């Protein structure tokens, strides 16, 4: 809830488990209780792929999503590179049955223009070989554990298809999963190559 716009000295306002008190002298709010946590809304580290070995077919994140603590999640990509040419699209597929099946059919996902997709797209054309700088940035995932709202994602990555200075520019994309209610497992891969190196970290956005 938004803070009051015209508070009086000593007024309190509660957000989640945090109670704030207004000081008119300093015109500021300060935490009034000590039982709550002031880091609501901060990203909390959950896990990492570690250094991805060359030749890795896919990177899986599973059993690491907790609806009691997080609604939304953040993946940080650092220099994820293809092993060979044709690295193409870095993609994310979802599973609602812990990996027994993944949604990979056109129409399982839709982009922001309502066109059919077979994956959540993370970044396009991330390089032609392992000497490329690859893809780095953030991939945000919204409400994957919701039983009533489809999972949505958005990407903010830079990519460079060569080892030279500079880059191919930022990658921005908004994608929506059509099928992924209660998605509990996510797999990242390249359709025409394996992954040569890089790292993917997972964070959760803390709830109130």
Residue-wise pLDDT for 8-40, tens only, equals 888 887 766 677 787 777 777 776 655 545 555
Residue 202 has pLDDT above 90, yes or no: yes
The position carrying tokens 């060979």 is: 84
> What is the mean pLDDT of the segment spanning 45-67?
91
How far apart, in whole angstroms, are the C-alpha atoms of residue 192 and residue 190? 6
Position 74 scores a pLDDT of 94
In tens, the pLDDT along 97-141 reads 888 888 888 888 887 777 888 888 888 777 766 777 788 899 998
Helix segments in the chain, DSSP class H: none
The position carrying tokens 């979802």 is: 94
How far apart, in whole angstroms, are the C-alpha atoms of residue 120 and residue 27? 45
Instruction: Compute the mean pLDDT over every residue in the chain, rounded to the nearest whole number.
Output: 79
Position 48 scores a pLDDT of 92
Position 157 scores a pLDDT of 86
How far apart, in whole angstroms, are the C-alpha atoms of residue 103 and residue 105? 6
Position 199 scores a pLDDT of 94
Position 121 scores a pLDDT of 84
DSSP 38: T
């Amino acid at each position: 809830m938004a803070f009051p716009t015209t508070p009086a000295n000593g007024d309190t306002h509660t957000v989640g488990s945090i109670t704030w008190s207004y000081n008119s002298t300093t015109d500021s709010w300060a935490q009034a209780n000590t039982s709550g946590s002031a880091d609501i809304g901060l990203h909390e580290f959950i896990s990492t792929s570690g250094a991805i070995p060359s030749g890795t077919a896919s990177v899986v994140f599973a059993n690491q999503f907790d609806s009691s603590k997080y609604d939304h999640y953040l993946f940080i990509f650092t220099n994820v590179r293809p092993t060979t040419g044709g690295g193409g699209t870095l993609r994310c597929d979802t599973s609602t049955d812990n990996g027994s099946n993944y949604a990979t059919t056109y129409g399982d996902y839709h982009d922001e223009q309502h066109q059919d997709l077979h994956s959540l797209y993370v970044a396009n054309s991330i390089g032609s070989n392992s000497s490329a700088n690859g893809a780095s940035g953030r991939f945000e995932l919204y409400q994957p554990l919701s039983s009533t709202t489809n999972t949505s994602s958005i990407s903010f990555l830079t990519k460079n298809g060569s080892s030279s200075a500079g880059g191919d520019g930022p990658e921005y994309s908004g994608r929506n999963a059509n099928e992924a209610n209660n998605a509990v497992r996510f797999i990242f891969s390249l359709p025409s190559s394996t992954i040569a190196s890089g790292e993917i970290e997972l964070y959760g956005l803390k709830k109130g």
